[in-house]
Amino acid sequence: MPWYKAPPTAAQLAEAATVHCVHADAGIVLTADPNEDFWKGAQPVFMDKDRMGDPLPDLRTAIATRWTATHLYVMFVCPYDALFLNPTPKANADTWQLWLWDVAEMFIGWNFDKIQAYKEFEISPLGEWLDLDIDLASPTRGDGMKWNSGFEVVAQIDHPKKIWFGAMKIPFSAILPAGRTTATAGDKFRVNFFRSQGPPKKRNMLAWQPPMTDTFHTPEKFGTLVLM
């Protein structure tokens, strides 16, 4: 059975709000192939609920994470019923309002004392991307749109199986506090994963840790990612 279809283990169920991110001795050329050994070494988490906590088992989305000293790697495995894609995609620059189409997202922040501040990373089935520097407490929140993390993305669609795969490679220098460019085992981050799927009238809004509100931007509901 592929790792992204396996049922959660007892340990995963016991720590449903924690991502155990497994260390890798070396990074890889980014790939969205879930059969790559690099991804098989992860301890995945799964999201199969909407933002209000109601079950969406047919859209059960697997998320794998790995890390090296310099980068965080994330893989989304996203089953779908029908794709809703940007008709004019571009992959050479960020796409504002990418969340209007099918997309997978990660919100992540290092500061547990300032939970309103975090980074947002998005990827579409077509390999489009968006990165944002969010601070909900800032009067100049729009400035975060100008931020560029330098992250990489790659995506592929398996049309016969109705699954799309999206992977991210994010430099820790974009996530950690100023002055830190590398991560170490034991580092912890606040994190949540989301996914939007389908056209507006049949839109499914999945969340790993359901925010229980109409917006994904509810940092009080984030879980924790721990570097193992």
At residue 138, the pLDDT reads 84
Q: In this structure, what token pair is assigned to residue 213? A: 């509100």
Going from the first residue of the chain to its last (228 residues), give the mean pLDDT of each consecutive group of 10, the final group possibly shorter: 86 89 95 94 96 97 98 98 95 91 98 96 97 88 77 97 98 95 97 96 96 97 98
Helix extents (H) in 127-181: none
Looking from the CA of 193 toward its CB, the CA atoms found within 13 Å total: 28
Give the pLDDT of residue 7. 86
pTM value is 0.96
Q: H helices of 29-124, where? A: 37-40
Dist. CA 36–CA 34, nearest whole Å: 5
> Which token pair is 76?
């989304």
Helix ranges (H only) for the chain are 10-14, 37-40
CATH class of the domain at 21-206: mainly beta
Between CA 154 and CA 38, with CA 28 as vertex, the angle to 5 degrees is: 90
